[in-house]
Amino acid sequence: MDKMSEIISQLKKTGIVPVVKIDDEQKGIKVMEALRAGGINCAEITFRTANAASVIKAVSSTFPDAFIGAGTVLNAAQVDSAVEAGAKFIVSPGFNPKTVAYCQSKNIPMLPGCSTASEIEIAIEMGLSQVKFFPAEESGGLKKIKALSGPFPQMEFMPTGGINLSNLAEYLSFSKVIACGGSFMVSSKLIEEENYDEITRISKEAMKIVNAR
């Protein structure tokens, strides 16, 4: 099994990918502790902060068995920085063929963001079978994913954006959805307040939904 297949297999088991924006290594470790206590051993740490690589390194080294990816990756330099820090997969908000090709040349699993038929055609042309569907709710949600699955039955999706406890089950009920990304259990407010108990509580609720698939 190649690296991408291994990552997709892991994502399907995980069912949910917390999207974490954080710039403090110790807080990152505590957030991961809280997620793990809630049954989630996965996180997509975004490059929306200047310290993202350091947080990925701190979390990956503290929890070597955790499934840590890097999000909001926009170019090859960020890919290198993320992988060097310990990220096991790359996620981007949009579809940049240069970044996709770079990851492929380095055998680095990547889920680029797509929300249109044209982007999915390019993804297929580049040999991809899985993409991030972003921003999910704003782009038409599960209805749009199902519509796109008609002409593109070979494509699987990781919807992210606007997903929460109220619609998680609906997304996961569709066979072409491999996992859902979301920040609802790791919101900026919860992280700022260091409300790790609430992160754990919401994570447990999310995992109940995931395990009921």
- Give residue 14's domain range: 3-203
Q: Write the Ramachandran bin of 51: left for phi over 0, alpha for psi from -120 to 50, otherwise beta.
A: alpha
| Span 105-130, average pLDDT | 98
Q: How many CB atoms lie under 10 A from the CB of residue 167?
A: 18
Q: What is the reported pLDDT for 13?
A: 95
Two tokens, residue 143: 């209805």
Q: Which of 76, 27, 67 is nearest to 47 (CA)?
A: 76
CATH number at residue 45: 3.20.20.70
Residue 171 lies in a domain: yes
Please, are residues 127 and 104 in contact by the beta-carbon 8 Å criterion? yes
**What number of other Cβ atoms are within 10 A of residue 79's Cβ?**
22
- The torsion of the CA quartet 182, 64, 84, 12, rounded to 10 degrees, works out to -40
Q: Which of 21, 44, 88, 156 is catalytic?
A: 44
- Structure confidence by residue, pLDDT tens digits, 84-104: 999 999 999 999 999 999 999
Q: Could you tell me which of 40, 114, 110 has the C-alpha nearest to residue 82?
A: 110
For the segment 194-201, the average pLDDT, to the nearest whole number, is 98
In a domain, 71, yes or no: yes
Told to judge if 13 belongs to the known catalytic residues of this protein, a careful annotator would answer no
pLDDT at 201: 98
Q: Evaluate whether residue 211 is within a structural domain.
A: no
Spatial distance between the Cα atoms of 148 and 67, rounded to a whole number of angstroms = 29
| Set 21, 88, 132, 144: catalytic member | 132
What whole-number distance in Å separates Cα of residue 116 and Cα of residue 62?
38
pTM of full prediction above 0.95: yes
In what helix (H) or strand (E) does residue 133 lie, and over which residues does it extend?
strand 130-133
> Which tens digit of pLDDT belongs to each residue from 164-194?
999 999 999 999 999 999 999 999 999 999 9
**pLDDT of residue 157 exceeding 80:** yes
**Bridge partners, 132 (sequence order):** 113, 158
What is the C-alpha to C-alpha distance for residues 213 and 118, in angstroms, rounded to an integer? 30
d(CA 35, CA 97): 33
Predicted confidence (pLDDT) per residue in 31-58, tens digit: 999 999 999 999 999 999 999 999 999 9
Number of domains in the chain: 1
Q: What is the mean pLDDT of residues 143-152?
A: 98
Domain membership of residue 154 (yes or no) is yes
Give strand pairing partners of 46: 71
Determine whether 44 is an active site residue.
yes
Degrees (nearest 5) of the Cα angle 174, 89, 159?
A: 25
Residue 18's pLDDT is 98
Say if 213 falls within a structural domain. Answer: no
- Is 212 part of any domain? no
